[in-house]
Structure 1
Amino acid sequence: MKRSSVSLVFNIFLGVGIVMLIITLAILFSVKKFNDSAVKTSGTVIDLIAKGGSKSTTYSPVVTYNDKAGVKHRYVSNVSSSPAGYNIGDQVEIYYNPNDPDDAKIAGWREYFGALITGLFALVFGLIGLGYHIVRKLGHSRKERLKQTGQLVPASFVAVDVNNIVSVNHRHPFFIRCEWKDPLTGITHPFKSGFIWSDPSPYIDRDKKIDVYVDRNNFKKYYVDISSFER
């Protein structure tokens, strides 16, 4: 998997998040528009309709209310819950369309339930997609800073490993382990490269040194140059 393919996956996440955000805003606008023009009245919960699911049973309230002309109407909520959100006999506030009194809904947070669901999807997908680009941008800035101000050391190849924790599109990334022995202190410093999304083993000359840029004051801050191994 090329880096461009990985970016595409996260761009799709970001795109889905943006679409969900647009849908959320559209739902909120629709609710507000309806509420601004609706007539408000009180209604009574007269029944609870059970809706059986594969795992549980949910309940939708049935509400009766009178319009301005005194005509009684019956409304069945399209939002159901378990346990039931209302009891029979409860008084609820009803919004109805003055041009079509049968077009109604119960006032309250439940009218925003659809926006809550799409908003949650927007948040999750958006954070995943945006988070990838933020981390990549920060990593790029850190890499360039180390290349400009860090100490270049020639590290010896140790091994190619696979990160089995991270997975994108059912693929696990590879990374290169290498090390450098400081001739002044005799201390061997281990390094790990960033992720490589295709096996770099065929492109590695085991006898060739790998460029590593390290912070002179903190050898835990480093960048392993793997540009020649990425395909």
Structure 2
Amino acid sequence: MHSGRLFTIVGGIFGLIGLVLLCVGIALAASTASLLASAQRTDGSVVAMTARTTTTRSSDGHTRSNTSWYPTVEFTVDGRRYSFQGSTGSNPPAYKKGEGVPVAYDPDDPSNARIASFWSAFLAPLIVGGLGVVFTPIGAVLFVKGRRITRLRAWLWKQGQQVWAEIEHVGRDFTVRVNNRHPYVVHATWQDERTGRTYTAASDYLRDDPGPRLRGQTRVRVLYDPADPDRNLVDLDAHPSHP
């Protein structure tokens, strides 16, 4: 997969996730604001703190655990006791057992209630919406970059100048990961006859080792923009008639 397509796909995924998170954050904020606007207020008490542990696996293969504490609050309306668990947790715990807290509840359905503080009510929408605000522009930038690379590749295939460049290196690129693996890459160099300057071209990221199919081959075809030789692509499928 060439880098333009990769950037386009990743950018599209990031952008879509960002838009979904942004819409969910706005919906949560609107729902919370609507409830608080019509809610009744009373005093409640934290009766328990419940731990929830989530486990994630990082790109380096290590497993990490994170524990958050969620408050369970009880309150009384017209002699009837209600309870609910807070929608947001924290570490360290934001509340202590027995601590009094303000409660906002729906007068038509007191079981629909939440802690009536700004951070407790709006933390979840802020986090979700904030992630959406971050993901959306990142996705847009990657998508646009991918489309530009794809257009450049199409132009190079049609109008790029050809040169047979010397293979300098074939191996993994340990500075990046694709699908949790370091991809293979081929580097080749050539000298511009007009300026005498040496340029280096890098192939697309490759999942499989290209060494076997390049065995005995010392050069690869490079297509480049004569006005800017740094704009180039490596064609590993072409073979020189005299390697």
- TM (norm. structure 2) is 0.63
Instruction: State yes or no: 1:169 paired with 2:179.
Output: yes
Deviations 1:41-86 (A, max 9, x none): 242x5445233456767362635465xxx65755444244344435
- The answer for the alignment partner of 2:34 in structure 1 is 33
The answer on 1:106 being equivalent to 2:105 is: no
Q: Is the 8 A contact 1:193 1:223 kept in 2?
A: no
Equivalenced residue count is: 221
Counterpart-to-counterpart distance in 1, 2:68 and 2:164: 65
Residue 235 of structure 2 aligns to a residue whose secondary structure is coil
Indicate the residue corresponding to 2:231 in structure 1: 222
Query: What secondary structure, in the 3-state scheme, does the structure 1 residue paired with 2:204 have?
Result: coil
Task: Please report how far the alpha carbon of residue 132 of structure 1 lies from its aligned counterpart in structure 2 after TM superposition.
Answer: 3.9
Instruction: State the distance in 2 between where 1:6 and 1:168 align.
Output: 9
Residue 199 (structure 2) aligns with? 189
TM (norm. structure 1) is: 0.66
SS in 1 for 2:26: helix
Query: Does 2:49 align with 1:50?
Result: yes
Q: Which letter does structure 1 place at the counterpart of 2:171?
A: D
Q: Is the 8 A contact 2:201 2:234 kept in 1?
A: no
- For 1:1-231, what aligned pairs fall within 5 Å after superposition? 10=10, 15-36=16-37, 38-43=38-43, 45-52=44-51, 58=69, 60=71, 62=73, 64=75, 74-78=82-86, 79-86=88-95, 92=102, 94-107=103-116, 108-119=118-129, 122=132, 130-143=140-153, 152-183=162-193, 187-201=197-211, 203-204=213-214, 206=217, 209-214=220-225, 216=227, 221-226=230-235, 228=237
Give deviations 1:135-163, integer Å, cap 9, x for gaps: 31232345467778876544233332221
In 1, the alpha carbon distance for the partners of 2:5 and 2:72 equals 48
Q: Alignment identity in percent?
A: 23
Amino acid of the structure 1 residue aligned with 2:119: W
